[in-house]
Chain A
Amino acid sequence: MINRLLICIYFLVLSSLTASLSFESLSLHFTRRAFSTVSSSTLIGLTTSTTSTSTLSSSNGEEQYWNRETSSRKQYQDSKPISQMANIICLSDPHDDANQRLYHGNLPKGAQVIAVGSEIDHFDIGKLKEANANVIFVSHPKSREPLAKLIQQVPSIQWIHSRSAGIDFITSNELSNCGAMVTNAKGCFSSTLAEYTMMAISFFAKDLPRLLKQKHSKTWEKYCVEEIRGKTLGIIGYGDIGRAAGTLAKAYGMKVIALRRNPQNSQGDPICDEVYSNDKTSLCRLVSKSDYILCAAPLTPETRGLIDEKVFSSAKKNSVFINVGRGPIVEEDALIEALKNGPLKGAALDVVATEPLPKDSELWTLENVLLSPHNMDMTETFMHEATEFFIEENLPRFLRNDPLLNLVDKVAGY
């Protein structure tokens, strides 16, 4: 007890001496990002690191968001002393292989895991408070309720990190209203989903279903294929995934048009030929100009049911719809209607409204649907890498009270 008191006094003294622990830098974590981001990456494998200009960033202009392919690793100031501890609660499956490094491996000095569990009953709240738990690492799919309870019962929580990019699985009033920072895995899964997007486009452009049918019936019948070059990809939700897909699409010679909440953030973006803001009229216009429509948006109250009958009926005849965002963004009945009776030629869905997809869903039997079990970003190592991102990038930043990467706007929901 005395030791803890002494440690607290030590840190108080240390923090008052350290210039970085200023209220200004603390307040940075709670305001919405209001600067424009200009990123560029060339197409022929020579990537330049993502640069972002910010009126609020720290003086060395470091990145605010992570991209697995282009961000430079460990750009925090290693020589800077740590100014706070990280006492971590893991809202996770203790047997999750991807988290083993977190549970048992070497963590940065000053960080420790104090509890692992997937339900509120797995935790001794008294012990958590005693240990000054201040960080929660969330990876369990059923975390919404336990997280809300932990937030309420452990007021010392300063930071919550989601191992996935989507945070729709943990949103709650408690989360929105609490003072803690929230970060996620934005940028960790994008390139694999971009690869899937181009595969989905090719699947329809080269009529892979026909190829496979012809093989089955031993039919040698030449037919015309479509070029991907010159076609238009319309991206709904131009975040990290949308941009990765746009980058590949540009390499193929496609035209790329995109829709996002803050179109001004894409000014000067070499990947995007046109940017739209997210009102219904613009959405319908984007869709009417696209040969391939990619939904890469997060699920928020604003995007839920966004892509509905009106949007599908505005779609170009024989266009293809691809969803790597979240199922509930789409009105599934309207999608099925558009697939059966036009204007859609087909759809490629890695996400659906209810997962696993119920056996009675028509999506299983519609011929012009390419279905995948929400696994198109699931590589052998992706979850390990997402955990590593927490350990190697954000934990060291938190310990030094530096701005974290991938701050989520809790109000916006992403």
Chain B
Amino acid sequence: IEWIHSRSAGIDYVTSPTLSNSKAIMTNAKGSFSSTLAEYTMMAIAYYAKDLPRLLQQKQDKNWSKYSVQEIRGSSLGIIGYGDIGRASATLAKAYGMKVVALRRNPALSNNDPCVDLVYDNSKESIHKVMNTCDYILISAPLTAQTKGMIDKEAFVHMNKNAVLINVGRGPIIDEDAMIEALKKGMFKGVALDVFATEPLPSESELWEMNNVLISPHNMDMTETFMHEATEFFVHENIPRFIRDETLLNPVDKAAGY
């Protein structure tokens, strides 16, 4: 075996010591799902900015009651894990006139990025700073040994009261119990989660009944054709390259895990 290709972007579902130690090249579907997840990110932001829950409740009650909405323009988006999905979200956020702060392992790589106003490294201090200063925080990091449980109880202590947390990365990056506790205590405004520590989300999870939680069943990148397209990417892009012994697209750093 010379080459292993994953049809999905996340490879956390196939990692193993055997994989890490093998000499085979590994590639994935990075970049195939990003724009749809960016669309979801802006929807999650608008959900809270325009208080969609209130709108829907008022409709149910036949209540015509004007209230002030928040502008997305001028607010800030902190992106934890500035890969392809993070960048697609930053691009949209910038179009809305948001301020964008990005967190990545290699901040230098984003030095001249027009979609980003500030770049930080992925240290604890940087995470706390983002949680504290941003109106919306997007987790779009891969699940690796380093990122697992990265958004912990301590991180939530730093979160600002009006902030909204959005997760399109992987559930285990967030300490789910700490998050639920922090939400219940009113330490921040709300969450929008497309991914969870355990999927399907068990019916006993408190998240189902909490008000300031938007839940989607890990389907916000699931268009009619996305899996077909991901397979096509393998067939039309990487196979021809492999056959010609050319550099494959989307190589994965097996040690890093993404």
Contacts and interface: CB of A to CB of B under 8 A. Distances in A.
Interface of A: 43-46, 69, 191-192, 195-196, 198-199, 202-203, 205-206, 208, 211-212, 214-215, 218, 220-229, 247-248, 251-253, 355-357, 359, 364, 369-380
Nearest to A192: B71
B39 A252 contact: yes
Categorize the interface residue count of chain B: 35 or more
A208 B50 CA distance: 14
Contact of A378 (B46, B68, B218, B223): B68
A194 B222 CA distance: 26
Nearest to A210: B216
Given A225-B220, A357-B64, A372 B39 contact: no
A218 B73 contact: no
Contacts of B56: 212
Contacts of B242: none
Interface string B217-245: 11111111000000000000000000000
Nearest to B220: A225
Contact of A222 (B47, B217, B224): B217
Nearest to A224: B224
Given A222-B219, A364-B62, A372-B50, 15 more contacts: A44-B95, A45-B114, A195-B72, A202-B46, A206-B39, A211-B215, A215-B214, A222-B218, A224-B224, A229-B36, A251-B95, A252-B39, A356-B64, A373-B58, A378-B67
A198 B69 contact: no
B59 A364 contact: yes
B66 A69 contact: no
A248 B43 CA distance: 13
Contacts of B65: 373
B69 A376 contact: yes
B39 A227 contact: yes
B217 A195 contact: no
A329 B65 CA distance: 23
A43 B97 CA distance: 9
A251 B70 contact: no
A371 B94 contact: no
26 contacts: A44-B95, A44-B115, A69-B73, A191-B71, A195-B50, A199-B43, A202-B42, A206-B40, A206-B216, A206-B220, A211-B215, A220-B201, A222-B218, A223-B217, A225-B220, A225-B222, A227-B35, A227-B36, A229-B35, A251-B95, A253-B35, A371-B58, A373-B65, A373-B67, A375-B67, A376-B50
A232 B14 CA distance: 39
Contacts of A212: 56
A46 B113 CA distance: 12
A221 B92 CA distance: 28
Contact of B55 (A248, A252, A253, A370): A370
A73 to B, nearest CB: 16
B58 to A, nearest CB: 7
Interface of B: 35-36, 39-40, 42-43, 46-47, 49-50, 52, 55-56, 58-59, 62, 64-73, 91-92, 94-97, 114-115, 199-201, 203, 208, 213-224
B91 to A, nearest CB: 6
Contacts of B221: 225
Contact of A229 (B39, B199, B217, B218): B39
A248 B92 CA distance: 8
A121 B257 CA distance: 76
A193 to B, nearest CB: 10
Contacts of A206: 39-40, 43, 216, 220
Contacts of A356: 64
Contacts of A378: 66-69
A198 B42 contact: yes
B95 A247 contact: yes
Contacts of A373: 58, 64-67
Contacts of B67: 373, 375, 378
A250 B34 CA distance: 17
B55 A380 contact: no
A228 B58 CA distance: 27
The 7 closest A-B pairs by CB, nearest first: A251-B95, A220-B200, A356-B64, A199-B46, A202-B43, A45-B94, A375-B66
A375 B65 CA distance: 9
A224 B222 contact: yes
Nearest to B67: A375
B59 A251 contact: no
A196 B46 CA distance: 8
Contacts of A46: 114
Contact of B68 (A205, A211, A224, A375): A375
A360 B199 CA distance: 43
Contacts of A225: 36, 40, 219-223
Contact of B46 (A69, A195, A222, A372): A195
Given A206-B40, A379-B68, A196 B94 contact: no
Nearest to A380: B68
Nearest to A363: B59
A223 B223 CA distance: 8
> Which of B36, B52, B64, B114 lies at the interface centre, i.e. has the most chain A CB atoms within 10 A of its CB?
B64
A211 B223 contact: no
Contacts of B35: 227, 229, 253
